[in-house]
Structure 1
Amino acid sequence: MYTKPLALAITVGVMASQANAAGFLEDSKLSLSMRNNQIATDNRESQDRVGNTAYSGQNREWGQGFALRYSSGYTEGTVGFGLDALGLLGIRLDDGGRAGKAGETRTPGNMFPLESDGSAVSNYSRVAFTGKARVSKTELRVGTVQGNLPVFQTSSGHLFPQTYEGVQFTSKDISNLSLAGGYIEHAVGRSSTNATGMAVTGGTRQSNKFVYGGGDWAITKNLTAQYYYGQLEDYYTQNFAGLKHVWPIDDKQSLVTDLRYFRTDSDGANSTAAGRAKGYIAGGGYSSTGGEIDNRAWSASFTYSYLSHSLMVGHQRLSGGSGFFQLSQGSLPNENAHGASYYLQTDRQLSSFLRADERTSFAQYNYNFASLGYPGLRAGVIYLSADNIRTATGYRQKEWERDISVDYTVQSGALKGINFAVRQANLRTQASNDLDQVRFIVDYKVDIL
């Protein structure tokens, strides 16, 4: 399957419908989003357990991003056509050192692409387009797409979101049922300017076929069931089932139950020793068959909310012959396609707690200061503790992470809408290096149309 002919067909449809283009223009939207992001990471030596100031390197990154987004309306008629466009510009404000240079105590992170000498570029940009067509409550998108489903996620932790190239559809024509699916051929990393094939952590060979589909069924007003399927050719197949229930105890308090289950198995080349030897391999930890994907993951969380307070507690458990895997292009050679997000309750600032046999318990508390007379101010803390980790060098290893967040959105005046965020995280682990990280983020959006 090749998506460019489909994109061309939708473009022709848009041009052919200009006589009925009133909705196309009248419903158009144009906005400029700006993000200033500063990340300071200390990569502490994992064997330093007594407070010695030994480091394996420090990352200091600071950048300014501009994202110009245009979204047209739809042409009139039974089938409506439209066009979206995205323009991105990232400017490096600080990102010192050179990756791979001996003796460096400060190296670039993953916010910017790298020059041939290992230093970060001064700026980078890219432009993307999406053709779209709509019939009733069903929409087809061709070109640049993003994912927000259990088996297909978009990472947006730096200046810009990760994007994909392919075909995507959504439908709400059936009452109480939301359907989604797609065919993806390429990925563009959040800090990259070029499209690549797809892989998993540890994989060095590219796959150009990822298919997914599924839906959400609102069984009742407060109970939703989910099922989704994803397949990355020559790497894995994945089945997901979820159940979410909201219990509105009264007008001041509620209890949310969130149950999730993933089954992930090898596919194609990853299923054979010969295929794994070619680079269709899963890395990042223990595998009973040398890089073959074989994992089961389930989690249960319960969130109690009372007025401005919310408290979540939960547990996640992994089993099988490997860790948990989804799309991740970070290990593809010379592509700088870092960044991945996973639909796991444990996918946090520094770790995702997805190693083989890992068992994680977690608790999170959030508070909204509006009730104290400070609207727009929010804070939260989460603590995760894991054990039983199996790696290539050990078994029953442990790790923990603590994340603290503070956000403030200006409510009025000339700066109305600007959001300031601070993220502080500590990771202590026996499975890799210890990390400390602080992020300062400023987001602002201007609606032009």
Structure 2
Amino acid sequence: MASSGLAVGMFHLPAVAGEGFIEGSSATLQARNYYFSRDYSDMVGANQQSRAEEWAQGFILNFKSGYTPGVVGFGVDAIGLLGIKLDSSPDRVNTGLLPVKDDGRAADEYSRLGATFKAKLSNTELKVGELQPNLPVLTFSDIRLLPPSYQGVAVSSSEIAGLTLQGGHLNSTSLRNEAGDEKMIAMLGHLPQRRADSDAFNYAGGDYAFNEKRTSASLWYGQLEDIYHQGFLGLKHSQPLGDWVLGANLGYFDAKEDGDQLLGKIDNQAFYSLLSAKRGGHTFYVGYQAIYGDSSFPRVFANISPLGNEVPTYEFAFADERSWQARYDYDFSAIGLPGLTTTLRYITGDNVDTGKGFEGKDRERDLDIGYAVQSGALKGLGVRVRNVTARSNYRSDIDENRLIFTYTWALF
């Protein structure tokens, strides 16, 4: 007992700032009503379905406990998910909102309950169970009815001012429109590689913020075991200049095949840059992205990535692709309408190695309008409209519309 107390004293381990397991707990319930429609023309590939259109209602319950007091604090988080079909048919499935059964029809409903056990020592936290990491090498992609998740172990540490370190091992995933656990597969460009899967995604990396937090540098490593491994180097900077705020977001990925090479050789390097200028409610962006190597950009299915020119419809990440982006955002709070925002974006890409003897080209125009009620009885209600036109000479053209209503209750 004496030696145990001496050891604690020598290392000066602080007690966790304990609001208590119950006292520090919180819970929210979000209702998400989602309409999704994609019309395809000039079909390219084996799937000749000309339209994907579904409407669904989702519920997302999030519980987060506080930590027990003491040198090491313990807690538990939980998430409950429920998706309900409102409209679908066999000729309009595969929107990513609902599971598709063996008979080709969407399931009437699907649900999931997951728990995460956590422990905290000083500014270092360990989590085991249901995880939703958001990393450059594994971006959290909550872009459908219900969010995806992973199962495994993760640790994060912020013991040094400005520096956040993370690492983890994931052994399965629950996809955005599935209730069960599955092994992980890769995507190359926009194509799922279903002929190979893995039960291990390992990652490690860190972000360091300095220059009064106006600048941050990132270094990351991710490995989808026996399929690919990938490194990432990133830099972000924000610089006030009179009435303007200038920004830069730069990143570089390098990926190779891994272990047993279940998908064969992978050779990909990707560079992106996204520059911004903000004044009042106006923000202007210009971006350039370049894909190098013999392979398209790899990532874990079905995630987007932090590539500057990647959007949820086209990725602009095929082998050898070069793409440019022009984007304009406006926040209407600048003219007295808080909660209303718009984004207009145009991206064009070329130089794609299609492997078919011709140069691939694509382009996309996006319009997003969002509004969140700021006060009154409907505070917590949000609506988002998305309209997309995407055209390509080597993959399917897409006309897309999304209408999303959300309402969030703070339960306690």
TM-score, with normalisation over the residues of structure 1? 0.84
Instruction: Tell me if the contact between 1:46 and 1:428 (Cα under 8 Å) persists in the aligned partners.
Output: no
Q: Whole-Å Cα distance in 2 between the matches of residues 126 and 107 of structure 1? A: 21
| Equivalent position of 1:52 in the other structure | none
Q: Does the alignment pair 1:38 with 2:35?
A: yes
Q: Does the alignment pair 1:232 with 2:193?
A: no
| Equivalent position of 1:59 in the other structure | 52
Instruction: Tell me if the contact between 1:29 and 1:70 (Cα under 8 Å) persists in the aligned partners.
Output: yes
Identity of aligned residues (%): 38
Q: Does the alignment pair 1:214 with 2:205?
A: yes
| Equivalent position of 1:17 in the other structure | none
Aligned with 2:178 (options 165, 184, 192): 192
Q: Does the alignment pair 1:159 with 2:145?
A: yes
Secondary structure, counterpart of 1:116 in structure 2: coil
Point out the more displaced range, 75-84 or 190-199: 190-199
Q: Point out the structure with the larger strand share.
A: 2
Amino acid corresponding to residue 228 of structure 1 in structure 2: W
Amino acid corresponding to residue 183 of structure 1 in structure 2: H
Tell me how far 1:268 sits from its aligned partner: 1.4
Tell me how far 1:203 sits from its aligned partner: 3.7
TM-score, with normalisation over the residues of structure 2? 0.91
Provide closer, same or farther for how the CA distance between residues 107 and 45 of structure 1 changes in structure 2, counting only shifts above 3 A. Answer: farther
Q: Does the alignment pair 1:375 with 2:338?
A: yes
Provide closer, same or farther for how the CA distance between residues 292 and 148 of structure 1 changes in structure 2, counting only shifts above 3 A. Answer: same
| Equivalent position of 2:276 in the other structure | 303
Secondary structure, counterpart of 2:333 in structure 1: helix
Tell me how far 1:219 sits from its aligned partner: 3.4
Amino acid corresponding to residue 224 of structure 1 in structure 2: S
Unaligned runs of 5+ in 1: 1-19, 48-54, 99-103, 271-279, 282-290, 329-338
| Equivalent position of 2:190 in the other structure | none
Provide closer, same or farther for how the CA distance between residues 22 and 301 of structure 1 changes in structure 2, counting only shifts above 3 A. Answer: closer
Secondary structure, counterpart of 2:398 in structure 1: strand
Q: Deviations over 1:92-131 (max 9, x none)?
A: 10111x2xxxxx5x44432111222110011110100000
Q: Does the alignment pair 1:259 with 2:213?
A: no
Amino acid corresponding to residue 251 of structure 2 in structure 1: R
| Equivalent position of 1:410 in the other structure | 373
Tell me how far 1:162 sits from its aligned partner: 0.8
| Equivalent position of 1:27 in the other structure | 24
Equivalent residue runs for 1:322-337 within 5 Å: 322-328=295-301
Equivalent residue runs for 1:272-287 within 5 Å: 280-281=262-263
Amino acid corresponding to residue 172 of structure 2 in structure 1: H
Instruction: Tell me if the contact between 1:36 and 1:65 (Cα under 8 Å) persists in the aligned partners.
Output: yes
Tell me how far 1:342 sits from its aligned partner: 1.1
Q: How many residues align?
A: 387
Q: Whole-Å Cα distance in 2 between the matches of residues 395 and 297 of structure 1? A: 22
Amino acid corresponding to residue 25 of structure 1 in structure 2: I
Amino acid corresponding to residue 410 of structure 1 in structure 2: V
Unaligned runs of 5+ in 2: 1-16, 188-192
